[in-house]
Amino acid sequence: MTSAATAEPKILVIDDDKEIRYSLERVLSSRKYQVLTAGSGEEGLEVVKEAKPQVVFMDIRMGGMSGLETLQHLRSIEPKPMVILMTAFGTTQTAIEAMKFGAFDYIMKPFDIKKVIALTEGALNAYRDLVSLRDKEDRPILNTDDYKEGMVGKSEAMQEVFKVIGQVAFSDVTVLITGESGTGKELVARGIYQHSRRTQKPFVAVNCAAIPENLIESELFGHEKGSFTGATGQRIGKFEVCDGGTIFLDEIGDMALPTQTKILRVIQDGEYQRVGGMKTLKTNVRIIAATNRNLEEMVAEKTFREDLYYRLNVVRLRLPALRERKEDIPDLIDFALQKLVKKQQTHVNKVSPEAMTLLKHYNWPGNVRELENVIYRSAVLAQGEAILIKDLPEEIRHGQLSESSKGLGPEDADEGRSETPLESLGDEDFSPHAISRASREEAPSLLESLSVGDLWDQLYEKTRAEASGNLLSVVEKELIRRVLRETGGNQVKASKLLGITRATLRKRIDQYDL
């Protein structure tokens, strides 16, 4: 084992090829990392236990213990290093096995030096995130047993929803639930049912939009043998199955007008007939309906029956979109992770503060359903105990932020955003160019007299005259230079003012040779 350089952080290279160890040691030492080396998996494990490196580069094929075997042993050592596997055999199996056993990434031989450096920096950032999260000693906020209905939310908007559920649950009043797709309308319907007097009878959910128009009546009311082609026997419909219980008609706005007429009769008289049948049947069901469409407009357009609308709209319960209750996002994420852990589908039970900031400021067009899918995907891809920024989908990682997040303070911006699109920067960032002859005292009044378009127009014309096909870099370089000058070279203050992480700022300083 050898050691090079004395600076932190520590990088361990495990390979039975002396030339590989020497090459990586030279590359990494030049970046001011402390580099340790080992010639076998067995030796590498001892180095990890003693020196506790943050990142390990390790060959997959070695004499003695293989890289994958060594990786499995490393999973039991705390703190766990980020492991980057090296191979000259880039097979499908190699990639699958490397990620299956928890490697941070893998790299092909011969090495691309830029990729080695980029992987090292990425692994170090991930390690710091995990250590930071571990130091906070976060604990789960919720208990899944306390939220059996799956409805989670401390926000004022959701507390109002829970109140209405409590008020209507014990009666048999018809409830119309409205809200965007993915807000949890079926969960609310089940919540009403579970707190009602009908819990000993069935709860049946029917997605009206998912059933073809020519089959929806058969699905709801049943049919008699021979009533249509393919009706080889009698079929019992949902209303008959659900007698005494609760039926949830989801996406009722997609229901055809003829079926709406029959639903109206059930609500008014509790009567219906099977398709092709002559006998009138009776049913005692509570109807809860839901839609993400504007029924008032549909009534005006004659595509939804007005009398049915009023029958359904006895008690109306609107579910807020997730972007309207972002304070609930940490609880929803915690609840989703606990469910996954309970089902033994993941070992991940935390989210790093940086990743949480991005999740809290994403717009969530798919609402809670999209959030759950993102958490499930990210937990599956995460190599450590927590979801990090690198585990999030690209649209969340790269600044697809909501309108409300554009007003983030510097502290929030630094915590969660790795890149800042130019269009999200405030007007004042470019004011020195637009009012170069003005004193600082005159700046506010001049800024008020200029529109954002005026500032951008001047900036664009000037930059285009000086740059040749590289406008973004020219603007970014000058902006970073001015912020560094304003903060006296303090990178912490500069990164906060720019709304980027310190790591990103350091990369830009190196890139532009500032």
CA-to-CA distance for 30 and 23, rounded, in angstroms?
Answer: 11
State the pLDDT at residue 149.
61
State the pLDDT at residue 3.
45
Structural class in CATH, domain 323-405: mainly alpha
In this predicted structure, the answer to whether residue 444 has a pLDDT above a threshold of 50 is: no
CB under 8 Å, gap of 24 or more: what pairs does 484-490 form?
Answer: 484/509, 484/514
- Least confident interval from 185-194, 279-288, 328-337, 398-407: 398-407
Q: Which residues in the chain are classed under CATH 1.10.10? A: 420-511
DSSP designation for 213:
H
State the pLDDT at residue 102.
76
State the pLDDT at residue 327.
92
DSSP designation for 72:
H
Q: Which residues in the chain are classed under CATH 3.40.50.2300? A: 3-136
CB atoms within 10 A of CB 342: 11
Count the alpha carbons within 13 Å of 151 in the hemisphere toward its beta carbon: 23
CATH number of this structure's domain 156-320: 3.40.50.300
What is the DSSP track for 271-337? Answer: EE--BT----EE---EEEEEESS-HHHHHHTTSS-HHHHHHHTTEEEEPPPGGG-GGGHHHHHHHHH
Q: Which residues in the chain are classed under CATH 3.40.50.300? A: 156-320
Give burial (CB, 10 Å; 0-12/13-18/19+) of 331: middle
What's the topology of domain 420-511? Arc Repressor Mutant, subunit A (1.10.10)
- pLDDT tens, residue by residue, 51-93: 999 999 999 888 888 888 888 888 888 888 989 988 877 555 6
Specify which of 140-149, 314-323, 392-401 reaches the highest per-range mean pLDDT.
Answer: 314-323
State the pLDDT at residue 475.
78
In sequence order, the 6+-apart residues with CB closer than 8 A to the CB of 296 are 309
Q: Which residues in the chain are classed under CATH 1.10.8.60? A: 323-405
3-136 CATH pick, 3.40.50.2300, 1.10.540.10, 3.50.30.30, 3.40.50.300: 3.40.50.2300
- pLDDT tens, residue by residue, 130-175: 776 665 544 444 454 445 567 888 888 988 898 899 899 988 999 9
pLDDT band for position 108 (50/70/90)? Answer: confident
State the pLDDT at residue 174.
95
